[in-house]
């Protein structure tokens, strides 16, 4: 079964093609047959990168719409040095990461007109992502007609959160209108939860895990027996810990103050909190953790402050997840920062020594993927998991494709 996976961002389109043979899924993620990425770097500039068997082609696209870019990207599947198919009709099913699925969707779902309508409705809650997800779905409809398509929702993993965690402390009627905590990064949290249990060699149903997805966007989840019972992101991906360019949670009265005193519009506040805050807001330069760590070594005081704020808020969030779980068996790090920054992991774990958590410094410094890096005498395990969102989406497609 050939499965096409789409993972759309606000300014990027990542895709890959898996070829799954046999009656069962492989135990570990196979290497994709083909990978394609488009980055829209500005209004007049887009670049496409295609990877097949070690061959990498970079193709400037200039000014191009998302749908036309997707069409150009899919053409590389059947032409030139990156050809892996004789015809696009060989693709059996396509899967899409959809950021917001609201309260309706708790699992991967075949895309129908009502599902598309709901994704469209939820664009108001995920304006940077759901429209891009929808454009990818519509592009496949135009190019491949009635090919089965699957929506894999980032909110689905958190859909079983108890009301005490999901409801905001505002008049209950707003919860009934859909103003509630949904949680995000669910595909990553779900996959890494399963993988952590495999690495630890323990049944997932018996584990209490705190999963830390740390990238440009960051979120934590409290996972009890495989079920997310709390998470740091909420109504939108803005809530929670400090991130690359997002503020995370702040006193809501600040927004009231801005609206009253400086007459800032909702759009201006939204842009500030999502694009100009977080690590970038404090440094004034960058929200990239690699830049932060380098700048600290060069004596940059604002980079040091940003670092200290980031670590403190991570520790505070871990504490809140710990309280929700009533204990923890393992701390799981994933995402670009979680997987690649020994310093972040070390600083966070150093603050958790009172739990009996002991990090193996040598193991941690090597940043090994899919590995327990806690010392043998640690009361809490520490696991690095390489998140595989595309493979998680492909697995859902495989199951639904078999059922069709």
SS3 per-residue string spanning 207-218: CEEEEEEECCCE
Q: What whole-number distance in Å separates Cα of residue 210 and Cα of residue 134?
A: 31
Q: Is 97 labeled as ligand-binding?
A: yes
Instruction: Name the active-site residue from 39, 44, 146, 154.
Output: 154
CB 231 within 8 A of CB 213: no
Q: What whole-number distance in Å separates Cα of residue 364 and Cα of residue 340?
A: 10
* 160: its two tokens: 């079983």
* 366: its two tokens: 């090597």
By DSSP bridging, strand 381-384 and strand 330-334 are parallel
Q: Is 290 labeled as ligand-binding?
A: yes
Question: What 3-state DSSP class applies to 2?
Answer: strand
Report the phi/psi class of residue 340: left, alpha or beta, with left for phi > 0 and alpha for psi in -120 to 50: alpha
Q: Is 53 labeled as ligand-binding?
A: no
CB atoms within 10 A of CB 23: 5
Q: Let me know if 154 is a catalytic residue.
A: yes
Long-range contacts of the stretch 201-206 (C-beta < 8 A, 24+): 202/329
Q: What whole-number distance in Å separates Cα of residue 53 and Cα of residue 45?
A: 27
- What are the helix (H) ranges across 3-149? 66-75, 113-121, 130-144
Q: Is 389 labeled as ligand-binding?
A: yes
Question: What 3-state DSSP class applies to 359?
Answer: strand
Long-range contacts of the stretch 298-306 (C-beta < 8 A, 24+): 306/279, 306/282
Q: Is 274 labeled as ligand-binding?
A: no
Q: What whole-number distance in Å separates Cα of residue 240 and Cα of residue 218?
A: 8
Q: What whole-number distance in Å separates Cα of residue 259 and Cα of residue 268?
A: 10
Q: Is 338 labeled as ligand-binding?
A: yes
Q: What is the DSSP letter of 374?
A: B
Q: What whole-number distance in Å separates Cα of residue 290 and Cα of residue 134?
A: 32
Q: Is 14 labeled as ligand-binding?
A: yes
Identify which of 327, 155, 354, 153 has the alpha carbon closest to the alpha carbon of residue 224.
Answer: 327
Q: Is 288 labeled as ligand-binding?
A: yes
Burial of 41 (0-12, 13-18, 19+ CB in 10 A): exposed
Q: Is 336 labeled as ligand-binding?
A: yes
Residues facing residue 150 across a β-bridge: 95, 110
Q: Is 339 labeled as ligand-binding?
A: yes
Kindly give the interhelix angle for 301-325 and 289-297, rounded to the nearest 10 degrees: 130
Catalytic residues: 154
Known binding residues for substrate = 97
Q: Which residues are annotated as a binding site for ATP?
A: 14, 213-217, 288-290, 336-340
Binding residues, by number, are: 7, 14, 97, 213-217, 288-290, 336-340, 389
Binding residues for Mg(2+): 7, 389
């Amino acid at each position: 079964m050939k499965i096409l996976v789409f993972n759309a961002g606000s300014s990027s389109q990542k895709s890959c093609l898996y070829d799954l043979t046999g009656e069962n899924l492989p135990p570990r993620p196979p290497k994709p047959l083909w990978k394609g990425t488009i980055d829209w770097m500005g209004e007049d500039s887009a670049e496409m990168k295609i990877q097949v068997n070690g061959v990498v082609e970079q193709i400037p696209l200039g000014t191009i719409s998302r749908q036309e870019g997707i069409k150009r990207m899919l053409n590389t599947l059947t032409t030139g040095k990156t050809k892996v198919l004789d015809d696009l009709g060989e693709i059996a099913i396509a899967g899409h990461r959809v950021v917001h699925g609201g309260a309706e969707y708790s699992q991967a779902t075949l895309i129908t007109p009502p599902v598309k309508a709901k994704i469209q409705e939820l664009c108001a809650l995920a304006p940077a992502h759901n429209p891009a997800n929808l454009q990818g779905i519509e592009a496949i409809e135009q190019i491949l007609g009635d090919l089965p398509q699957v929506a894999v929702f980032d909110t689905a993993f958190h859909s079983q959160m108890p009301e005490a965690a999901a409801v905001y402390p505002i008049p209950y009627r707003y919860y009934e209108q859909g103003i509630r905590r949904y949680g995000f990064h669910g595909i990553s949290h779900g996959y890494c939860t399963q993988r952590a249990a495999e690495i630890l060699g323990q049944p997932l149903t018996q584990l209490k895990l705190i999963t830390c997805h740390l990238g440009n966007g960051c979120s934590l989840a409290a996972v009890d027996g495989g079920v997310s019972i709390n998470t740091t992101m909420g109504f939108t991906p803005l809530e929670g810990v400090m991130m690359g360019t997002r503020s995370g949670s702040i006193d809501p009265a600040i927004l009231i103050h801005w609206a009253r005193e400086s007459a800032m519009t909702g759009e201006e506040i939204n842009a500030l909190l999502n694009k100009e805050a977080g690590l970038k807001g404090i440094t004034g330069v960058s929200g990239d953790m690699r830049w932060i760590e380098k700048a600290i070594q060069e004596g940059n005081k604002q980079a040091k402050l940003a670092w200290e704020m980031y670590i403190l808020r991570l520790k505070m969030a871990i504490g809140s997840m710990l309280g929700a779980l009533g204990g923890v068996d393992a701390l799981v790090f994933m995402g670009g920062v979680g997987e690649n920054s020994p310093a972040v992991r070390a600083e966070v774990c150093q603050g958790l020594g009172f739990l009996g958590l002991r990090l193996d410094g040598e193991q941690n410094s090597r940043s090994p993927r899919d590995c327990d890096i806690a010392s043998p005498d640690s009361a809490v395990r520490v696991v690095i998991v390489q998140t595989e969102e595309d493979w998680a989406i492909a697995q859902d497609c495989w199951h639904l494709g078999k059922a069709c």
